[in-house]
Structure 1
Amino acid sequence: MAMFVHLTAAANTPRIRRAGIRADSRGQGGVRGVYCFPVLPSYTLTHQWLRELARFGPKGALSAVHVRLADAQEVLVGHYRDRAKDAQQWLTAAEAVARVAAQPDPRGWEVVVPRAIGAREVHRIRAVPQVAGWRYLPGAHGTRPCTCVGCRIRGEYGGRRLRERHPHPLDGPPPPVPVLLARIEAAGDPGDQAALLDALHWFGLRRRGPVDRLARLAAHPDPAVRRELVWAVQGWSTPGVAELLDPLAEDPHPDVREAVADVRELMDEQES
């Protein structure tokens, strides 16, 4: 039997003891399952994902759930940066442990079990110190954090002070809504791609926006514009966002459909 550890919110542990771990995460290629990591001799490496998960995950303390899997259980193994198609590999659980343990630097490696984990497979659940592991990326200690829109976390402790000390050219504040709408109108019909992408980028930094004024871009002939529209409105609390995404979920281009699926998953996580 191969031993793995799954990190989760401490509030989930009663449900996990009773019913196991739900397969509600998504790995490479859209594989749904449970993220975990092999139990290695090094405590720090075994729990390396703890501080990074604390940045993005639920509020409160995290707990470690140790699970035993059959050696022949197939799992998806690879480094989190391996996002190219087929970059990660399907191996048995025993092979996955050996593969990760043999790495000169196993930081950033991950394992996805493509199914739910039953309560009988849970070996033990315990509290863990909340300071183990790396943040941002392996080896980031001593490196200036990036303050771009993609890396920053809204509401993160010390985030505003960090942005004031190290401003990023794409960090904002975004131009006023009338200015952005004027840029979209000036782009023409259907509209210059570069101008529309730039305006949608700034719209994506806002918490609310004119959904009705941007709805026409859902029919833009360029899939890059339609995809950027999806990401621009994903954080808005304005009514009508769900209705805007519905037709884009059936878009003929796979990148647009994938963007809608990712956005809806984020929205579900924020609501839960």
Structure 2
Amino acid sequence: MAIFVHLTSAGSAARIRRAGVRAESRGQGGVRGVYCFPVLPSYQLTHQWLRELARFGTRGGLVAVHVRLDDEQPVLVGHYTHRAEGAQQRVPAAEAVRRIGALDDPRGWEVFLPRAVTAREVHRIRTAPQVVGWRYRPDAHGTRPCTCGACRVRGEYGGRRMRDRLAHPLDGPPPPVPVLLARIAAAGDPSDPGDPALLRETLGWFGLRRRGPVGALAPLAAHPDPAVREAVVWAVCGWSTPGVGALLDRLADDPDPEVREAVEAVRDDD
């Protein structure tokens, strides 16, 4: 039997003892399942993901759920950066343990079980020190953290103090909507290429808002540059304004695959 550790909120411990671990995470290809990591001789490496997971909020801290899987249970194994590339490999659980154990530096590697964990497979649940592991990425210690809107986590502990100390050039209130609409108008008519770089930059500012002028951005869904059409997806996906769903429906049938994938990604996160 291969033994793995799954890190989760302490508030879920009682439910896990009773019913196992739910398949709530999405892995490579959008498959639902459970992330875990082999139990290695090194305690630090076994629990390396703890500080990174703690950044996203927990209920009562994190606990380590030890899981026993059959050696032949298929799992996905690879570095977390391989997930977006579709390069994680499907192997038996025992082979995943062997591969990670043989690495000189297994930091950032992960195992994904493409199903739920049953209560019978839960071996034990242990408390874990909350200061083990890396944050942001392996070897991030000693490098300046990025505080841009894409990298920071909203509501993260200590986030405001870090932003005050390491202000990002894009920090501060976004330009008013009339200013942004004037920039779109200055970029050219949506029926011609205009200035795609200016349009993408302006749409990035719109993406920081909770609501916006859907009707004013809708013509850009027909822009000849697919990068601009994809930027429209990311600009409006977080809005609560009526009409966003219809605009995303239109972009879901876009001839460019990257635009269609962007729509699929934002809808998977809903």
TM-score after normalising by structure 2: 0.89
Which residue of the partner structure matches residue 134 of structure 2? 134
How far apart, in 2, do the equivalents of 1:130 and 1:79 lie?
Answer: 23
Deviation at 1:83? 4.4
Whether contact under 8 Å (1:172, 1:205) holds in the other structure is no
1:18-55 deviation per Cα after TM superposition (whole angstroms, max 9, x unaligned): 33222222223333321111111122211111111111
What are the residue-to-residue correspondences of 1:182-197 with 2, within 5 Å?
A: 182-190=182-190, 191-197=194-200
How far apart, in 1, do the equivalents of 2:28 and 2:119 lie?
Answer: 25
How far apart, in 2, do the equivalents of 1:231 and 1:58 lie?
Answer: 27
Whether contact under 8 Å (2:5, 2:67) holds in the other structure is yes
How far apart, in 2, do the equivalents of 1:49 and 1:146 lie?
Answer: 20
Whether contact under 8 Å (1:7, 1:65) holds in the other structure is yes
Which residue of the partner structure matches residue 210 of structure 1? 213
Indicate whether 1:40 and 2:40 are aligned. Answer: yes
Higher deviation after alignment, 152-161 or 113-122 = 152-161
What are the residue-to-residue correspondences of 1:46-85 with 2, within 5 Å?
A: 46-83=46-83, 85=85
1:236 to 220, 239, 245: 239
Indicate whether 1:114 and 2:114 are aligned. Answer: yes
Q: 1:202 to 1:62 in 2, by over 3 A?
A: same
Which residue of the partner structure matches residue 4 of structure 1? 4
How far apart, in 2, do the equivalents of 1:235 and 1:62 lie?
Answer: 29
Q: 1:252 to 1:11 in 2, by over 3 A?
A: farther
Percent of aligned positions that are identical? 74
Which residue of the partner structure matches residue 263 of structure 1? 266
Whether contact under 8 Å (1:76, 1:113) holds in the other structure is yes
Which residue of the partner structure matches residue 270 of structure 1? none
How far apart, in 2, do the equivalents of 1:64 and 1:240 lie?
Answer: 44
How far apart, in 1, do the equivalents of 2:201 and 2:172 lie?
Answer: 12
State the one-letter code of the partner of 2:56. F
State the one-letter code of the partner of 1:259. A
Indicate whether 1:198 and 2:194 are aligned. Answer: no
How far apart, in 2, do the equivalents of 1:51 and 1:92 lie?
Answer: 28
1:51-93 deviation per Cα after TM superposition (whole angstroms, max 9, x unaligned): 1111125454222211111111111111112246443222211
Which residue of the partner structure matches residue 88 of structure 2? 88
Which residue of the partner structure matches residue 161 of structure 1? 161
Q: 1:120 to 1:221 in 2, by over 3 A?
A: farther
Whether contact under 8 Å (2:206, 2:236) holds in the other structure is yes
1:92-144 deviation per Cα after TM superposition (whole angstroms, max 9, x unaligned): 11111111111111111011111222222111222222222111111222221
Question: Secondary structure in 1 aligned to 2:258?
Answer: helix
State the one-letter code of the partner of 1:131. V
How far apart, in 2, do the equivalents of 1:84 and 1:11 lie?
Answer: 30
5+ residue gaps, structure 1: 268-272
Structure 1 segments, 4+ long, off by >6 Å, are none
Whether contact under 8 Å (1:77, 1:111) holds in the other structure is yes
Indicate whether 1:245 and 2:248 are aligned. Answer: yes
Question: Secondary structure in 2 aligned to 1:103?
Answer: coil
1:156-204 deviation per Cα after TM superposition (whole angstroms, max 9, x unaligned): 2332332333233344432111111111122222243212101011111
How far apart, in 2, do the equivalents of 1:27 and 1:119 lie?
Answer: 21
Q: CA RMSD in A?
A: 2.2
Whether contact under 8 Å (2:27, 2:83) holds in the other structure is no
How far apart, in 2, do the equivalents of 1:159 and 1:173 lie?
Answer: 17
State the one-letter code of the partner of 1:19. A
Which residue of the partner structure matches residue 98 of structure 1? 98
TM-score after normalising by structure 1: 0.88
How far apart, in 1, do the equivalents of 2:6 and 2:136 lie?
Answer: 19
Deviation at 1:210? 1.9
